[in-house]
Amino acid sequence: VGDYVTYELEGDKYVIDDVKPRINDLDRPLIANVDQVLLIFAAKEPEFQLNLLDQFLVLMEKANVHAKIIITKIDLLTKDELLDLKDKMRYYQEIGYDVYMVNSMTKVGFKEVEKLFTDKISVLSGQTGAGKSTFINALIPGFNLQTQEISQALGRGKHTTRCTELYQYNGGFIGDTPGFSKLDFSLILKEEIKDYFIEFKKCDCKFRDCLHDKELGCQVKESVNNGLILKSRYENYLKFLTDIRQEIKKY
């Protein structure tokens, strides 16, 4: 799904001649040439987790897919909590991720989000229980119904997501994925994970092969201390690094 092909009519059949090279491909769901993944996270219920967000962003960078962040349920936050969340999200915007805050009930923030889909193949993903179905149904009334009907027509249960389909919306296509509470890092090497924290590269650490961990004079650590890099981002980086090292030890 998502491949660009050339095809021609041979007799009464269309035959694919050529599959164009892919700019990227995702595993879950199995879709190629994704222009953007919209990561749906709840501001609350379930608790907003920067750690899980950073995990998603790492995997998106590895897959060479552009990620945008959509935060739902902002109405559940107090004024102070909302300011705090906006503060953190400003950092993500500064390093290059677009962030949108929405309320699927009142459709606050929807005007901007609707425009994101035009001319693009988009995939919706994110945290389990983040209100993704509510969000999609508010955006495209009947969307969930439509996917259920297709599943039934193909003889699959409504919760089966093994097969991927793209749905037309607002001049583009949408692919839906199940929610995730934990992601698989087993295919990432400890040497490469730093490349998926996009702001670390801009830091220009002068040591080749620096893991920005225990090395003295590391520019990334310096930037964390100066407040140029968000502390939680760096802490999550170290945590992922530790996880990967422990994973290696098992074998």
Q: Which of 210, 235, 243, 244 binds Zn ion (CB under 5 A)?
A: 210
Q: Which of 101, 220, 224, 241 binds Zn ion (CB under 5 A)?
A: 220
42 binds Zn ion (CB under 5 A): no
User: 179-197: buried (b, 16+ CB within 10 Å) or exposed (e) per residue?
Assistant: bbeeeeeeebebeebbebb
Span interacting with Zn ion, options 32-40, 180-188, 198-206, 236-244, rule CB under 5 A: 198-206
For residue 37, give the nearest of 183, 138, 154, 153 by alpha carbon. Answer: 183
218 binds Zn ion (CB under 5 A): yes
**Residues in region 97-116 near Zn ion by CB under 5 A:** none
Instruction: For the CB of residue 196, give the shortest distance to Zn ion in the complex, in Å.
Output: 15
Give the C-alpha separation, 140 to 170, whole Å. 9
How many other CB atoms are found less than 10 A from the CB of residue 136?
A: 20
Span interacting with Zn ion, options 1-9, 74-82, 220-228, 232-240, rule CB under 5 A: 220-228
Collapsed DSSP state (helix, strand, coil) of residue 168: strand
- Parallel/antiparallel/unpaired status of strands 166-169 and 121-126: unpaired
224 binds Zn ion (CB under 5 A): no
C-beta closer to Zn ion: residue 132 or 212: 212
Give residue for tokens 């407040």. Answer: 227
C-beta closer to Zn ion: residue 210 or 228: 210
Instruction: Point out which residues bind Zn ion (CB under 5 A).
Output: 205, 210, 212, 218, 220
